[in-house]
Structure 1
Amino acid sequence: MSYSKRLLIASAFFGVIGVGIGGHMAGAGSLAWSAVHAHILVVGWLSLFAWSMYYKVYTPPNAALAAVHFWTALVGAAGLNIGMYVYMMDTFLPEVLSLILYISMGTVLIISYIVFFIMTILQPE
């Protein structure tokens, strides 16, 4: 399966989760999950969708960079949101561990954006 298709499926998954959380927040009358909700939709749904379209329209200039981008995008998008949830919702993990998860997965996502930026610079017209 192509990177485009896999990113599109992941994007749709994040969209369903984000809409579900939004519906829950509206029904509960609480904004407690608003940061997680926003990041799921912007990072998970919107960014993965945009990257899916990039892979559909363009052939990546470097296969290794494309692989790094794809995996850091998926792991970073999922990990950042899970880390944010665990940290902000004061769950079962000690605070220091949840903060490490949150920051490390955010770093993976940043790497994904940097690799994508490099790929766009290298992309022939």
Structure 2
Amino acid sequence: MGAKWIKIAVVYFILGIAVGLFMSSTIQLQWAAAHAHVNLAGWASVGITGAIYSLYPKAGNSTLGKWHFWLYNIGLPFLLLSMFMIQVRPGPFAGWGMLTHIFTFGGGTAVAVGVILFIANVFLNVRASDRLT
């Protein structure tokens, strides 16, 4: 599972760079919160998770690891999309307030549950004796 996490992290890295370049070239700094979330919840957190699951493949391949993978990686795009939708007012998403809130709440909840499962997984399945050397 570690390699899957790392590959997804690279996608968020590219997206974070693209949003940063857009913000810089257009001086539209209202995207800063969404840009930070792409970089931290996407690139950094997903990459670190990939590194941990690469060092401890038993944890990454456990049931908790698989649930963590799916909840986090389905929830995060919805959460990030909603953060960008909030900034496009008035515009194509004006009047979509309820949908934006559903994306934020649903995506955020999936990510939060995924993080809780990750924490439980680390405490239950990460042992020094299981580490790849």
TM-score by length of 2: 0.85
Shift of 1:82: 1.0
Which structure 1 residue ranges, 4+ long, deviate > 6 Å from structure 2?
A: none
Q: 2:127 aligns to what?
A: 124
Contact 1:86 1:98 in 2 (8 A): yes
Q: Following the alignment from structure 1 to structure 2, what is the Cα–Cα distance between the partners of residues 84 and 78?
A: 10
Shift of 1:88: 3.0
Q: 2:19 aligns to what?
A: 21
Residue 35 (structure 2) aligned to one of 28, 34, 37: 37
List gaps (5 residues or longer) in structure 1.
none
List gaps (5 residues or longer) in structure 2.
129-133
Deviations 1:13-59 (A, max 9, x none): 00001001101111111202111100000000000000000110002
Q: 1:53 aligns to what?
A: 51
Q: 2:131 aligns to what?
A: none
Q: 1:104 aligns to what?
A: 106
Letter in 2 for 1:107: T
Q: Are residues 106 and 61 of structure 1, via their aligned partners in 2, closer, same or farther at CA, if it must alter by over 3 Å?
A: closer
Deviations 1:97-116 (A, max 9, x none): 11111111011000111001
- Aligned pairs, number: 123
Letter in 2 for 1:29: I
Q: 1:72 aligns to what?
A: 71
Q: 1:86 aligns to what?
A: 85
- Report which of the two structures shows the higher radius of gyration computed on alpha carbons: 2
SS class of match (2:28): coil
Residue 5 (structure 2) aligned to one of 7, 20, 23: 7
Q: Following the alignment from structure 1 to structure 2, what is the Cα–Cα distance between the partners of residues 85 and 115?
A: 27
Letter in 1 for 2:40: V
RMSD: 1.6
TM-score by length of 1: 0.90
36-45 or 53-62, which deviates more: 53-62
